[in-house]
């Protein structure tokens, strides 16, 4: 019986998370806290007795660095790593680089809330959560899921919204249900799948 193991981990705190800025596709690094969160994620996964055959991450360094630190803590830095922009964070368009409070002053609290929390309304020049799902899910179905179903143990280090796309499918959440789902920085979520790709078990390693 294979594990059919899939572990998702959001990158550790980034410099722009700390500054309360919309980040999106801007390529910012981890803070010291983010580095600690990534290392702690690796220690937690190692303590669970887990090992991985392959890892996937985005084209952005905060996710790549998180993955590298997790694997380093696990003594698994030599496994294959696949990088793809399909796993990038949601593109916030014209909001990218803006302080969230400044954006509220410019466009109003209600409008910014709609852009951040609606399922299908995108900020100017950016992506909605539905748009993010539209590029993340095909990649999951074509590249990640087949490996899990073959019995490979797979780790995905990505971003809050690209991971929501995967969580939405795995946990069969509605568009409304996924909007209220928070994914903490550096917190591994361990799934074991059935042969039909449904979830057999889930373990959230939040502290």
Check if 11 is active-site. Answer: yes
**Which residues are CB-contacts of 188 (< 8 A; sequence separation ≥ 6)?**
7, 8, 9, 41, 44, 45, 204, 205
* Cα gap 16→92, rounded to integer Å: 13
Tell which residue, 190, 160, 164, has the closest CA to residue 177. 164
> What is the SS3 assignment for 179?
helix
* Cα gap 77→67, rounded to integer Å: 9
Catalytic residue among 11, 73, 127, 159: 11
Check if 89 is active-site. Answer: yes
Catalytic residue among 37, 40, 73, 89: 89
Cite the active site residues: 11, 89
């Amino acid at each position: 019986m294979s594990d059919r193991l899939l572990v998702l981990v959001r990158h550790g705190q980034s410099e722009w998370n700390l500054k309360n800025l919309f980040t999106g596709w801007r390529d910012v690094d981890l803070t010291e806290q983010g580095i600690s969160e990534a290392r702690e994620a690796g220690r937690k996964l190692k303590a669970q007795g887990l090992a991985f055959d392959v890892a996937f991450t985005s084209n952005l360094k905060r996710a790549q660095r998180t993955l590298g630190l997790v694997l380093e803590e696990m003594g698994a830095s030599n496994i294959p790593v696949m990088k793809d922009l399909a796993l990038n964070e949601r593109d916030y368009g014209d909001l990218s680089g803006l302080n969230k409070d400044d954006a509220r002053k410019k466009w109003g609290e209600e409008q910014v809330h709609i852009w951040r929390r609606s399922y299908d309304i995108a900020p100017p020049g950016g992506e909605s959560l539905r748009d993010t799902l539209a590029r993340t899910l095909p990649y999951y179905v074509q590249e990640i899921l087949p490996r899990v179903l073959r019995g490979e143990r797979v780790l995905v280090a990505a971003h809050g919204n690209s991971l929501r796309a995967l969580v939405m499918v795995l946990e069969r959440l509605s568009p409304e249900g996924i909007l209220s789902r928070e994914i903490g920085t550096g917190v591994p979520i361990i799934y074991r799948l059935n042969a039909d790709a449904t979830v057999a078990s889930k373990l959230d390693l939040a502290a």
